[in-house]
């Protein structure tokens, strides 16, 4: 039996700001409103559904597999915005891109403090 992830709910300080940030960083279509959510379609029908919360937003980690060209575009936006980024999830290697084999990955924060990752090769071996 196979299962496909349909959507995930991400709590945000401002759902529209976080959704617009993710869509821009990934080169995804503009976010749309759906009830309590602002949705970003990332691929294969998967939506990231941002929902406002008045509570403290607990940091979560979301990793996105992107093409080499998309990585270049997204990383250029990180540099242009002078946004902090790291080569590792422990934030011990600031201002570096991690190169694993022929792949690249980098970590950065979204407006609500979630820890995002873009990578050009799958994490599984």
Res 125: pLDDT: 59
116-125 as b/e: b if 16+ CB within 10 A:
bbbbbeeeee
Res 124: pLDDT: 80
**Number of domains forming the structure of the chain:** 1
Res 1: pLDDT: 65
Alpha-carbon separation of residue 58 from 42, 70, 95, 114 (angstroms): 22, 28, 24, 8
- The answer to the question of residue 68 being in a domain is yes
Please enumerate in sequence order all residues whose Cβ is within 8 A of that of 87, keeping only pairs 6 or more positions apart, or say none: 93, 96, 97, 98, 105, 106, 107
- The answer to the question of residue 66 being in a domain is yes
- The answer to the question of residue 24 being in a domain is yes
Residue-range definition of the domain harbouring residue 44: 7-119
Which residue ranges of the chain lie beneath pLDDT 50? none
Q: Which pTM was predicted?
A: 0.93
Res 44: pLDDT: 83
- Per DSSP, the three-state class of 63 is strand
Beta-strand relationship, 115-119 and 61-65: parallel
Res 9: pLDDT: 97
- The answer to the question of residue 101 being in a domain is yes
pLDDT tens by residue, 87-99? 999 999 999 999 9
CATH of the domain at 25: 3.10.180.10
- The answer to the question of residue 23 being in a domain is yes
- Per DSSP, the three-state class of 31 is coil
- The answer to the question of residue 125 being in a domain is no
- The answer to the question of residue 107 being in a domain is yes
Res 87: pLDDT: 98
């Amino acid at each position: 039996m196979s299962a496909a992830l349909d959507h995930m709910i991400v709590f945000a300080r401002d759902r529209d700001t976080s959704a617009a940030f993710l869509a821009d960083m990934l080169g995804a279509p503009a976010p749309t409103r759906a009830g309590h959510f602002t949705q970003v379609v990332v691929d294969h029908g998967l939506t990231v559904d941002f929902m406002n919360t008045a509570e403290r937003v607990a940091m979560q980690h979301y990793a996105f597999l992107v093409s080499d060209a998309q990585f270049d575009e997204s990383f250029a936006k990180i540099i242009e915005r002078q946004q902090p980024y790291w080569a590792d999830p422990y934030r011990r290697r600031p201002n570096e891109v991690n190169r694993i084999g022929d792949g690249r990955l980098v970590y950065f924060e979204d407006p609500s403090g979630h820890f995002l990752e873009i990578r050009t090769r799958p994490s599984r071996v």
